[in-house]
């Protein structure tokens, strides 16, 4: 699928493909309310709409990403609502049947995640969890009864921490997909730092991506 991507907007990669496949396998019904967080070019939101889902909302903090997602939707004649804002803030108080998310998860070299610039699309603090931890807390209240969250992340950021956080917020969570990907330029450039922090093994030059599915069950209990 050809995607318009302005400079500074995250390029759809292996994590995008893995998340899109998980969404397709979930067989989302046409009347489901879908929210795509950290949408970037809108690739996952487009996949949801092209799959037949009629009520899709996409959110990103980047003005360029919002513009790209809007244009990509219009070029395909898809009625996707695209909003600018931090994580789920633009849809606070709303309810969704499906939430998809590809948040930044690359461990930063220096301190907190940047507030501006292209690195904002991937840098996520020293442990790579700045966006993940916030999303694990912010997404569950937006899920309707029986709704699900599909989120992709790197294994180096702590899969167990994500599962535990989602379960603590009342969801039933599990890893449903994995894929090994060679390091791209960003991770290759900071491999020595990741080794020193113990986030990867010495000499490791591949990442393990995982998709976590978290469901709001009838009784709202995690497992």
Model pLDDT, residue 123: 74
Q: How many CB atoms lie within 10 A of CB 162?
A: 23
Reduced to 3 states (helix: H, G, I; strand: E, B; else coil), residue 110 is coil
Q: What is the C-alpha to C-alpha distance for residues 110 and 112, in angstroms, rounded to an integer?
A: 7
Q: Taking the CB of residue 193, how many other CB atoms lie within 10 A of it?
A: 15
CATH topology for 14-216 is Rossmann fold (3.40.50)
- Domain range summary for the chain, segments of one domain joined by +: 14-216
Rounded average pLDDT per 10-residue block, the chain, 223 residues: 86 94 95 96 96 95 95 95 96 97 88 66 80 94 97 95 96 97 88 89 93 84 48
Handedness of CA 118, 186, 175, 2 (dihedral sign): positive
């Amino acid at each position: 699928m050809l995607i318009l991507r302005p400079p500074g907007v995250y390029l759809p990669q292996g994590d995008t493909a893995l998340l899109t496949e998980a969404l397709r396998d979930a067989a989302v019904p046409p009347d489901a309310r879908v929210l795509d967080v950290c949408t970037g070019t809108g690739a996952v939101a487009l996949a949801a709409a092209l799959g037949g889902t009629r009520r899709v909302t996409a959110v990103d903090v980047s003005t360029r990403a919002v513009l790209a997602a809007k244009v990509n939707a219009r070029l395909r004649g898809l009625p996707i609502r695209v909003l600018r804002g931090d994580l789920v803030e633009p849809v606070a108080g709303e309810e969704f049947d499906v939430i998809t998310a590809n948040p930044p998860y690359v461990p930063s070299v220096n301190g907190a995640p940047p507030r501006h610039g292209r690195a904002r699309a991937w840098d996520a603090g020293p442990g790579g969890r700045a966006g993940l931890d916030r999303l694990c807390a912010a997404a569950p209240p937006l899920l309707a009864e029986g709704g699900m969250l599909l989120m992709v992340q790197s294994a180096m950021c702590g899969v167990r921490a994500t599962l535990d956080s989602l379960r603590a917020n009342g969801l039933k969570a599990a890893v449903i997909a994995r894929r090994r990907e060679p390091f791209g330029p960003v991770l290759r450039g900071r491999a020595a730092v990741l080794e020193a922090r113990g986030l990867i093994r010495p000499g490791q030059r591949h990442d393990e991506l995982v998709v976590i599915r978290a469901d709001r069950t009838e009784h709202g209990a995690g497992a």
